[in-house]
């Protein structure tokens, strides 16, 4: 009669080897295309964006955890729009022409351009904004097509939460603006959500539109004339890329700026409530791994953020003459005071 201990030991060894084999990346060298708004590496005289560097570091750390080593079993083709989203279609076509195995797109406009350029090459999103509402996927559970990945903005309701925090910080009855890019397909849904939240909270909201970096800065002059005390900045890449300029302009205008991501607060904004972007970037590596192993993107459910963070900039609050309520400080995940 076979020794049961030998059988069990053999099975455990087999399972351990199986798990080890599954943990190993495919043997061939994969080509990963990166299509993003701002550079995570220095290109010529153009420096890398620190926030983009942080996202890239998290993504590649995720790949390393899965056994990938750049130059050994994968290479990367970078394409950056340099803050000019109109360049995305040309850059996406270049990646398709290189026949990369997968395209990692950081934002909606990058993914839209990539999807128009190819229906065959899988696309993994890192910071999708309301992808169902934007028409990128059929549903989060079953995306269909060639796009999947992480959702950075679950839905426009996140703006309502930011509006609520801003109302709690500002004086009663203060008007609050919402900064939108009218060329973004998500803007109508954002505006609808912020209007609904404003009615619930009893806040007067002033919609302000900006299509360019220059219009974004000019928007603060409009806000000042409208006696606005705070602004909730939507998650459009135009504003994210120019977060330092806009946060500085907001401070000089005496307007409290609320962002969807902590990077806006690190740039001098007052507060933010939203997803942790490096966490999304690290998790995106898992999608790339599964796709390189043969999974179809349309069958991989899009994951929503698991980590939301409230960040407060006390230095900015002091400069604006604001006192952050203790009820908000105790909720904050991070407080910047220098």
**How does pLDDT run across 280-314, given as a tens digit for each residue?**
999 999 999 999 999 999 999 999 988 889 999 99
Distance in angstroms (rounded) separating the CA atoms of residues 59 and 56: 5
Q: Is the dihedral of CA 129, 131, 136, 140 positive or negative?
A: positive
Q: Which of 148-186 are b and which e, b meaning 16 or more Cβ less than 10 Å from the residue's Cβ?
A: bbbbbbbbbebbbbbbbbbbebbeeebbbbbbbbeebeb
Supply the pLDDT for residue 18.
40
What's the predicted TM-score (pTM) here? 0.85
Supply the pLDDT for residue 45.
59
Supply the pLDDT for residue 214.
93
112 has a pLDDT exceeding 70 = yes
Of all residues in the chain, what percent carry a pLDDT higher than 90?
70
Confidence of residue 41 (pLDDT cuts 50, 70, 90): confident
Q: Where are the domains of the chain?
A: 4-154+277-306, 157-275+309-336
Supply the pLDDT for residue 24.
65
Q: Please list, in sequence order, all residues whose beta carbon lies within 8 angstroms of the beta carbon of residue 43, skipping any fewer than 6 positions away.
A: 80
More confident residue, 82 or 15: 82
Confidence of residue 40 (pLDDT cuts 50, 70, 90): confident
From 227, 261, 8, 34, select the one nearest 125 (Cα to Cα).
34
Best CATH choice for the domain 157-275+309-336 from the list 3.40.50.2300, 3.20.20.140, 1.10.287.610, 3.90.1150.10: 3.40.50.2300
Across the strands, what pairs with 271?
Answer: 258, 312
Q: Are strands 334-336 and 74-80 parallel, antiparallel or unpaired?
A: unpaired
**Six token digits for residue 95:** 């990646």
Supply the pLDDT for residue 155.
66
Distance in angstroms (rounded) separating the CA atoms of residues 198 and 321: 24
pLDDT in tens, 61-99: 999 999 999 999 999 999 998 878 889 999 999 999 999
CATH superfamily of 4-154+277-306: Response regulator (3.40.50.2300)
Half-sphere exposure of 15 (CA within 13 A, CB side): 6
3-state SS of 263-302 is HHHHCCCCEEEEECHHHHHHHHHHHHHHHHCCCCHHHCCC
Highest mean pLDDT among 2-11, 19-28, 67-76: 67-76
Distance in angstroms (rounded) separating the CA atoms of residues 265 and 257: 8
Same-fold call for 4-154+277-306 versus 157-275+309-336? yes
28 has a pLDDT exceeding 60 = yes
Supply the pLDDT for residue 42.
64
Distance in angstroms (rounded) separating the CA atoms of residues 158 and 276: 13
Across the strands, what pairs with 78?
Answer: 34
Please compute the mean of the pLDDT values over residues 41-65 and round it to a whole number: 85
Confidence of residue 130 (pLDDT cuts 50, 70, 90): confident
> How far is residue 167 from each of residues 157, 205, 232, measured CA to CA in Å?
15, 11, 10
Supply the pLDDT for residue 13.
43
């Amino acid at each position: 009669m076979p020794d049961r201990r030998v059988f069990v030991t053999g099975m455990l060894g087999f399972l351990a080897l199986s798990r080890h084999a599954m943990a190993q990346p495919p043997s061939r060298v994969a080509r990963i295309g990166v299509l993003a708004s701002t550079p995570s590496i220095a290109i010529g005289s153009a420096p890398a964006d620190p926030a983009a560097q942080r996202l890239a570091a998290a993504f590649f750390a995720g790949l390393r955890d899965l056994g990938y080593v750049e130059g050994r079993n994968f290479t990367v083709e970078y394409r950056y729009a340099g803050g000019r989203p109109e360049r995305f279609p040309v850059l996406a076509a270049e990646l398709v022409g290189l026949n990369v195995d997968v395209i990692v797109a950081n934002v909606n406009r990058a993914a839209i351009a990539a999807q128009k350029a190819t229906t065959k090459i899988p696309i993994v999103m890192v910071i999708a904004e309301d992808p169902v509402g934007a028409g990128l996927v059929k549903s989060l559970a079953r995306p269909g097509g060639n796009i999947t990945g992480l959702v950075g903005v679950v839905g426009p309701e996140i703006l309502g939460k930011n509006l609520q925090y801003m109302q709690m910080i500002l004086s009663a009855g203060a008007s609050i603006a919402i900064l939108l890019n009218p060329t973004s397909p998500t803007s109508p849904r954002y505006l609808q959500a912020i209007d609904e939240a404003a009615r619930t909270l009893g806040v007067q909201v002033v919609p302000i539109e900006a299509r360019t970096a220059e219009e974004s800065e000019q928007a603060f002059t409009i806000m000042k004339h409208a006696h606005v005390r705070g602004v909730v900045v939507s998650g459009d890449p135009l504003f994210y890329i120019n977060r330092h300029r806009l946060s500085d302009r907001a401070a000089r205008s005496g307007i409290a700026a609320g962002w969807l991501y902590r990077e806006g607060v690190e740039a001098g904004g007052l507060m933010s409530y939203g997803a942790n972007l490096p966490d999304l970037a690290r998790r995106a590596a898992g999608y790339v791994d599964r796709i390189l192993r043969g999974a179809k993107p349309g069958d991989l459910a899009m994951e929503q953020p698991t980590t939301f963070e409230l960040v407060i900039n006390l230095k900015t609050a002091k400069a604006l003459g604001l006192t952050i309520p203790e009820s908000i400080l105790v909720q904050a995940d991070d407080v910047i005071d220098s």
